[in-house]
Amino acid sequence: MADNDSVQSGKNFGIETPQKTEGYFLKGLSHLDWGMKDRLSGIFNQQSGKTVMLAFDHGYIMGPTSGLERIDLTIVPLIEYADCIMCTRGILRSVVPPTFNKAVSLRYSAGSTILTDLNDECIMDIDEAVRLNASLLAVMVAVGDPKHEGLTIRNLTKTVDAGTKFGIPTMGVTAVGKELVRDARYLAMASRVCAENGAHVVKTYYCEKDFEQVTNSVPVPIVIAGGKKLPEKEALEMAYRAVNEGAAGVDMGRNIFQAKNPVAMIKAVREVVHYGAKPEEAFKKWLAEN
Ligand code: R5P
């Protein structure tokens, strides 16, 4: 116990300097609690306000898809260039070294695979997310899916409730069914439903036309999925347009790990997302590394 006899009275109260009330750098999240903000600050870069999230959770619905056959060989070398990694608990425990200290966006919902009917999902136990030190809980939300819309929105709601108890934010991941068109009207609707139900971050797709309507109608940060593999220059153009039209970064998988020279590709994506590089400049840098 401290010795009471030597306690000195405080003198330095900074009377002339009012305490600063800091704002928060991420849209719509300034009223969150400290733990939530701490986790989000580890996902999004405070200078750029954006993130390069590396997604490799595809195996939970697709199995060992191209580029993810041996995650230890193909993905682990990319992790150092990501701000955050998005994966399942199975891959986190079995393959991802716990020494990277990267934010983890944990795939928190799981269920049916591409062999049957997607989106028939449940959610994990929050204790498991706490044990794994997750920074974000990623939950699939299938707006417009006649069979699973209600189920997946309930999953989102339960996840937000559970995560809030422990200061872990939730990301609503908009799933697009085969019959639904990925246009601004649909993506704004699906993304807004996620935010209205408490998602702190929304992951959706980029659309060529009116994407700004999507980003502007959602009050929290949006990150875009890369979607199916595109030629590298087109993937960089998509990332550039998305961030310039209001996205807070990317949560990209196949367009990085299926690219020629994935390390060069994730570095090029970083140039675009964090430093505003034009897609042509970033593409040149990618080319130079090949
Ligand atoms: C789907 O299985 C996952 O949510 C992926 O993380 C997501 O689709 C992003 O990956 P990609 O950029 O390959 O679309």
In the chain, where the domains are located: 30-40+49-223+246-258
State how far the Cα of 137 lies from the Cα of 170, in Å rounded to an integer.
5
Long-range interactions of 20-26: CB distance < 8 A, separation 24+: 25/49, 26/220, 26/221, 26/248
Among 217, 153, 160, 152, smallest CA distance to 191 is for 217
| Model pTM above 0.85 | yes
Collect the ranges in the chain with pLDDT lower than 70.
1-3
Looking at domain 30-40+49-223+246-258, its CATH class is: alpha beta
Calculate how far, in angstroms, residue 235's C-alpha sits from the geometric centre of ligand 1.
Answer: 14
Q: Tell whether ligand 1 has an atom less than 6 A from the beta carbon of residue 203.
A: no
- Token pair 């590396």 is found at 54
Q: Is the CB of 225 under 6 A from ligand 1?
A: yes
pLDDT at 83: 98
Q: What is the DSSP string of the chain?
A: ---GGGPPPP----TTSPPP----SSTT-TTS-HHHHHHHHHHS-TTTS-EEEEE--THHHHSS-TT-TTHHHHTHHHHTT-SEEEE-HHHHHHTS-TTS--EEEEE-EEE--TTS-TT-EEE--HHHHHHTT-SEEEEEE-TT-TTTHHHHHHHHHHHHHHHHHHT--EEEEE---TTS--SHHHHHHHHHHHHHTT-SEEEE---SSSHHHHHHH-SS-EEEE--S---HHHHHHHHHHHHHTT--EEEE-HHHHTSSSHHHHHHHHHHHHHH---HHHHHHHHHHT-
Mutate to test the pocket of ligand 1, among 51, 57, 113 (most ligand atoms within 8 A of CB): 57
How far apart are the C-alpha atoms of 114 and 122, rounded to whole Å?
16
> How high is the pLDDT of residue 1?
63
User: According to the model, what pLDDT value does residue 136 have?
Assistant: 98
Question: Who contacts 115 (Cβ-Cβ below 8 Å, separation ≥6)?
Answer: none
57 CA → ligand 1 middle, Å: 7
- What pLDDT was estimated at residue 81? 98
The ligand 1 atom nearest the CA atom of 107 = 4
For ligand 1, is residue 173 a contact (CB within 6 Å)?
yes
Distance between CA atoms of residues 275 and 240, nearest Å: 10
* Catalytic residue chosen out of the listed positions 27, 203, 209, 233: 203
Side-chain-side CA neighbours of 195 within 13 Å: the count stands at: 23
Q: Is the CB of 144 under 6 A from ligand 1?
A: no
CA 211 from chain centre, in angstroms, equals 18
pLDDT digits (tens, 9 = 90+) for 14-70: 999 999 888 999 999 999 999 999 999 999 999 999 999 999 999 999 999 999 999
Q: What is the pLDDT of residue 22?
A: 84
Query: What is the spatial distance between Cα 167 and Cα 289, in angstroms, rounded to a whole number?
Result: 41
The residue behind tokens 């986190």 is 92
Rg (CA), the chain: 20
Distance 12 CA to ligand 1 centre (A): 53
Cα 1 to middle of ligand 1, angstroms: 54
